């Protein structure tokens, strides 16, 4: 194996226990994203049924942060 054949090292995010596992699974099969989205939506709806509208407010705040990071990533290229 030549020096150029070595696999690229993944970043810190890929080594995190839960997030890294999800990212590796998405890297293997892109359709896993839809299962992740479905699970997140059903988790939010179940939490809203238990704790009420406070959970939906927290979910909206998380989405604002996620969209902010997404827009910065798009602008940086």
Report pTM: 0.60
CA dist 19 and 15 (Å) reads 8
Residue indicated by tokens 């699974």? 25
Compute the half-sphere exposure of residue 1: CA atoms within 13 Å on the CB side of its CA: 3
Mind listing the pLDDT tens digit of every residue in the chain (77 residues)? 555 666 666 777 778 888 888 888 888 888 888 988 899 999 999 999 999 999 989 999 999 999 999 999 999 87
27 touches 14 (CB < 8 A): no
As to burial, measured by CB atoms within 10 angstroms (0-12 exposed, 13-18 middle, 19+ buried), residue 53 is exposed
């Amino acid at each position: 194996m030549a020096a150029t054949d070595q696999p690229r090292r993944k970043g810190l995010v890929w080594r995190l226990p839960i997030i890294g596992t999800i990212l590796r699974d998405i890297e293997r099969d892109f359709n896993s994203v839809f299962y992740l989205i479905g699970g997140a939506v059903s988790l939010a709806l179940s939490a809203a049924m238990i704790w009420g509208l406070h959970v939906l407010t927290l979910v909206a705040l998380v989405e604002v942060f996620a969209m902010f990071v997404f827009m910065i990533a798009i602008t940086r290229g």
